[in-house]
Structure 1
Amino acid sequence: MTEIVRLHAVPNQRVMDPEPLWREVLGQRLRALRSRRGETLTETAERAGISPQYLSEIERGLKDPSSEVLAAVAGALGATLIDLTSQVTGDLRSYAFGAPQISGHQALLLAA
């Protein structure tokens, strides 16, 4: 596992927390979308063809799912792979302006 090392800050420069990992932001997006739909891990995982335990690990940012698994989970949640990856990319881009938060509106956009 790679260790993140903080460098000493230049005076008057804002110190930022380590950048979140793709899998962490992805997991937050998936959990928000699933929660917004009022579904359990078991219901979503069953439709996606994966175990609830694996979906839980993905949502907690512990696993990097393959593109096939990611497409299956997105589809089970009524979203497309491109919608989901665009939202995660946007969250990562916005990190420089503060920690991204997933709003209800953004989760609904994924479901559209």
Structure 2
Amino acid sequence: MPGLRALWLGSGMADNDAAPRTPGRTTPQPEPLWREVLGRRLRAHRMEQQEKLAETAERAGISPQYLSEIERGRKEPSSEMIAAVAGALGITLIDLTQQVAEDLRASQPQAARVPARAMLALAA
């Protein structure tokens, strides 16, 4: 008699799946969170400047640990914190926000993208 694990694995229910996978169907990837994309962008700017975490954090007036958590997308920083880090990196909030928005837009499948004009029409 097969063990419970063998039955579980053979049923297609492994790895905490809620339902068996349908052949030929792909599971949509969840959208990245804004804080994760923001963190990647901030880290990229810091790395471009070849700066250590502690250097940027000191200029921003925050702890290196907190900046690390922001960069890893673990913390949802306030607008004041984002402004402080952006300022420490010499970038404007508008440029940073635009880059994050572009990264989020690029992560969407082509079919799911809605043109900006369509969004404005929907909002009206």
For residues 16 and 89 of structure 1, the distance between their equivalents in structure 2, rounded to whole angstroms, comes to 20
2:42 is paired with a residue whose SS is: helix
Q: Which has the larger radius of gyration?
A: 2
Q: TM-score, structure 1 length as denominator?
A: 0.74
Alignment of 1:42-61 (within 5 A): 42-61=54-73
TM-aligned CA distance change 1:7 to 1:84, over 3 Å = farther
Post-superposition offset of 1:95:
1.0
1:92 is paired with a residue whose SS is: helix
Q: Aligned letter for 2:33?
A: L
Post-superposition offset of 1:25:
0.4
2:108 is paired with a residue whose SS is: helix
Identical aligned residues as a percent: 66
Post-superposition offset of 1:96:
1.6
Alignment of 1:30-45 (within 5 A): 30-45=42-57
1:30 is paired with a residue whose SS is: helix
2:77 maps to: 65
- Give the stretch that moved more between structures: 9-18 or 62-71: 9-18
Match of 2:105 among 72, 90, 93: 93
What is the alpha-carbon root mean square deviation over aligned residues?
A: 2.4
In structure 2, the gaps of 5 or more residues are 1-17, 111-124
Give per-residue Cα distances to partners, 1:25-53, cap 9 Å, x unaligned. 00000001100100001000000000000
TM-aligned CA distance change 1:82 to 1:40, over 3 Å = same
Bigger relative contact order (CA 8 A; separation at least 6): 1
Q: Aligned letter for 1:69?
A: M
Post-superposition offset of 1:15:
3.5
For residues 79 and 10 of structure 1, the distance between their equivalents in structure 2, rounded to whole angstroms, comes to 46
